[in-house]
């Protein structure tokens, strides 16, 4: 049984982004509802946090729009969604609150990172993901923009994505840490190496242990920055624990490794904004992945065994 320790109350503002424009499998548009239904607000309030749900960003349905460029599917729509999110995340942070963004596909992080960087200034980033998310329109094998948000945040890719908010890059590569990678496209691998960002693959997690990896990641992302933007793709976890994701990859984080990572981030106290993305209830079993997102959010905001 997990019980809470003393938690410093934080004003948390929940933002839903019911978008599957950036991904090739339908269903992640229902992710925000699945996470809410799993009791997110109630769990965080039990911990003593001031929680307000700001509702959902307005997102067009793919059926009503043309895909456009097959290397940048739904580009104009994705950009419009991310622009709405950028402004909302920026304003929430400027009001001294913590934005918690619920997805929806990972393309939304182009907007959340942009808003956080605009509000906070120099920002570190920890990116939990089985994938690199470092494709561009020149390298993508699918044309799905959910494979491009980290590249866009670092200044690589199409101007409509890179230039969101009128500035680029949003992140310094030497303050970005990808954790849990185990499925990287060949051209992504080249760009990752050239960029200078930091990567801890699952092999690194196996060899070093999650505790050592997280201490290193936190040190890197918090060094000379105004805080950390945390982006959690639920496919970072092994499908055994999070089956409801669009692009599952075997060999991910265990239940305890996921919670330990969040607990260490909570202990460090440096996370300014967070995304939980790629929850797909259509592919889930009894909302296990939605519940997992809620449990990780609770650990990030102070839930402990003792």
Q: Are 41 and 14 in contact (CB under 8 A)?
A: yes
133, 257, 263, 284: the active-site residue: 133
20, 49, 105, 106: the active-site residue: 106
Q: Are 278 and 102 in contact (CB under 8 A)?
A: no
229 is catalytic: no
198 is catalytic: no
129 is catalytic: yes
20, 49, 131, 275: the active-site residue: 131
215 is catalytic: no
The DSSP code sequence of 37-100 is HTTHHHHHHHTT-EEEEEEE-----GGGS---STTSTTHHHHHHHHHHHHHHHHHHHHTT-EEE
- Cα gap 89→92, rounded to integer Å: 5
131 is catalytic: yes
Locate all alpha helices (DSSP H) within the chain, ordered by sequence. Answer: 31-37, 40-46, 75-94, 109-120, 149-153, 159-162, 186-195, 202-208, 210-222, 255-268, 288-300
20, 29, 105, 146: the active-site residue: 146
Residue 44: is the preceding peptide bond cis (ω within 30°)? no
187 is catalytic: no
Q: CA dihedral defined by 232, 249, 130, 294, rounded to 10 degrees?
A: 10
278 is catalytic: yes
91 is catalytic: no
Residues 6+ away with beta carbon under 8 Å from 177 = 124, 125, 126, 127, 197, 198, 199, 200, 216, 217, 220, 221
235, 257, 275, 295: the active-site residue: 235
Is residue 40 left, alpha or beta, with left meaning phi > 0 and alpha meaning psi from -120 to 50? alpha
185, 188, 233, 238: the active-site residue: 233
Q: Are 111 and 295 in contact (CB under 8 A)?
A: no
20, 185, 278, 295: the active-site residue: 278
Q: Are 151 and 135 in contact (CB under 8 A)?
A: yes
Cα–Cα distances in Å, from 300 out to 36, 149, 261, 295? Answer: 16, 22, 8, 9
Indicate which residues carry an active-site annotation: 106, 129, 131, 133, 146, 233, 235, 278
């Amino acid at each position: 049984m997990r019980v809470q320790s003393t938690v410093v109350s934080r004003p948390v503002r929940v933002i839903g982004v019911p978008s599957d424009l950036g991904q090739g499998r339908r269903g992640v548009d229902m992710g925000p509802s699945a996470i809410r239904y799993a009791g997110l607000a109630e769990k965080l309030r039990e911990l003593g946090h001031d929680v307000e749900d700001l509702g959902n960003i307005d997102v067009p349905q793919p059926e009503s729009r043309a895909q456009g460029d097959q290397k940048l599917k739904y580009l104009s729509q994705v950009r419009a969604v991310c622009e709405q999110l950028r402004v909302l995340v920026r304003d929430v942070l400027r009001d001294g609150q913590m934005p918690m963004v619920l997805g929806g596909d990972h393309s939304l992080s182009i907007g959340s990172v942009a808003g956080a960087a605009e509000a906070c200034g120099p920002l570190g980033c920890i990116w939990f993901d089985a994938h690199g998310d470092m494709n561009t329109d020149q390298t993508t094998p699918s044309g799905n923009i959910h494979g491009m948000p980290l590249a866009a945040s670092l200044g690589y890719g199409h101007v409509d994505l890179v230039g969101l908010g009128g500035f680029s890059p949003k992140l310094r590569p030497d303050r970005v840490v990808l954790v849990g990678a185990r499925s990287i496209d060949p051209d992504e691998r080249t760009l990752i190496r050239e960029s200078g960002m930091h990567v801890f693959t699952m092999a690194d997690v196996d060899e070093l242990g999650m505790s050592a990896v997280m201490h290193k990641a936190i040190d890197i992302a918090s060094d000379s920055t105004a805080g950390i933007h945390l982006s959690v793709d639920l496919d970072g976890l092994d499908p055994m624990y999070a089956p409801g994701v669009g692009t599952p990859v075997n060999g991910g984080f265990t239940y305890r490794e996921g919670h330990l990572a969040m607990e260490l981030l909570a202990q460090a106290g440096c996370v300014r904004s967070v995304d939980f993305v790629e929850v797909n209830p259509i592919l889930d079993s009894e909302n296990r992945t939605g519940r997992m997102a809620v449990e990780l959010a609770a650990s990030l905001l102070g839930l402990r065994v003792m």
